[in-house]
Amino acid sequence: MRETPLSNCEREFIKKAIAEKRRIDGRQAFDYRNLKISFGIDRGCCQVELGDTRVMAQVSCQIAEPKQARPADGTLFINVELSPMACPSFEAGRMSDMFVEINRLLERCLKESRCLDTESLCIVAGEKVWEVRVDVHVLNHDGNLIDGCSIAAITALSHFRRPDVTVSGDEITIHSAEERDPVPLSVHHMPICVSFAFYEQGKYLLVDPLDREEKVMDGRMVIGMNKHREICTLQITGQMLLLKDQVLRCSNIAVVKVAEITELIHKALENDRQERAKGGKFGFAESTSTDKVTSNQSTADPVDMETVQEQIKSAALQAAESDSDVITTDEEDESVVILDKGVGGIGLGGRSTWGMDDAMEELQEEQTKQPATKPVLPAAGDLGGSSEEEMTHTLGEELTPLTSKKANRKRKKQKS
């Protein structure tokens, strides 16, 4: 599915807001979105939320043969997956430009910077080494995937524990977590990527751009740096020209942002370590806030049934008293008469007192007193001329006389 482009009105609105030193989400130009780091139950599982951008990283390891060029070094493999769940424009199994860019940036930032001690991953030189694999899954894309993926990858590596190994002669024994405590990876430093978006040929600068801000930017610069102010990687993309002062300005901003993010990562790792040590609750389920509409967990409030029954009885008594009060007050008022409970009439009320003529009353009495008689029908086959007269005479006593044309004609003939 192709990505939905922005309209010209949206582009002009975003560019005008940036020129006025405003952003569509209310942040300042150099502000990051809210960063949240949570860990799963298993070691090496980390989820990073950067605003609405969500990235999850999982670290695993296995024993493999080393490379011939470095027989005493382990290997680090990084894989990034952009699924359609994160954004409709991502296609499963297809290597897009963003996929290649993120994968190469992470390899340069983590592997080439030597943040992980690969020599400590060696079991038997030239034969067996540990192969560490980092799988980065993008769960939701709302801009600045590079920063989110780099934070998730380095945090997962720091959180991971590999099994302990014992070598005796030619035998290699891998101990389980019950036998021996797993061994953490040797991480020398934490390189973190910081992205900068440029507009109008570098005149305006934004940190941590949103998805809509990335669609209208002229170019991007990514600086990979650790808290020791060492630049691990630097990449500039886009059709723009930057001055030396702009690059230095971005590096100074990156120093501050990297120090803040590194401190947050250390705090998250320490909190998780303390919860696991004292046997507390940890994992994604415990880190989910329950004050959202999407959360199903709710606190059960105790209900005292005795007080509820008392409230019901008191409400019923009050309703009965209010009904009796209404009746007494209405009886005093002559203009309103209570016919029945819940029914009232304005005026005299009751049965209709409209006057009736004496003739109408007598007619009603006669109709009630007279028994109902069945009409006499002619016998089968008797279709004589007097049949209609008899029918007319019999029905005339109780019903209305017939007014058909045949009856009128016969009457005229008899008179003549």
Q: What is the pLDDT of residues 304-331, one digit of tens each?
A: 777 777 888 888 888 777 765 544 444 4
Q: Write down the pLDDT at residue 407.
A: 60
Distance CA 97, CA 107 (A): 16
Alpha helices in 278-371 (DSSP H): 284-287, 305-332, 358-369
Q: Write down the pLDDT at residue 319.
A: 79
The mean pLDDT value for 346-360 works out to 58
- pTM for the model stands at 0.68
pLDDT in tens, 225-264: 999 999 999 999 888 888 889 999 999 999 999 999 999 9
In the predicted model, is pLDDT for residue 356 greater than 80?
A: no
Measured between alpha carbons, how far is residue 352 from residues 43, 74, 121, 356, 365 in Å?
89, 106, 105, 11, 19
Measured between alpha carbons, how far is residue 323 from residues 316, 320, 335, 343 in Å?
11, 5, 19, 12
Q: Write down the pLDDT at residue 138.
A: 93
Distance CA 277, CA 274 (A): 5
| CA end-to-end span of the chain | 100
Q: Which of 193, 80, 195 is nearest to 143 (CA)?
A: 195
pLDDT in tens, 164-184: 999 888 888 888 888 888 999
The mean pLDDT value for 138-156 works out to 93
Q: Write down the pLDDT at residue 331.
A: 44
* 166 strand-pairing partners: 173
The alpha carbon of 174 is separated from its chain's Cα centroid by a whole number of angstroms, namely 43
Q: Which of 288, 282, 39 is nearest to 159 (CA)?
A: 39
CB neighbours of residue 251 within 10 Å: 17
What is the average pLDDT value for the chain, to the nearest integer?
Answer: 80
Q: Write down the pLDDT at residue 403.
A: 47
pLDDT class of 201 with cuts at 50, 70, 90: confident
In the predicted model, is pLDDT for residue 272 greater than 70?
A: yes
Q: Write down the pLDDT at residue 354.
A: 60
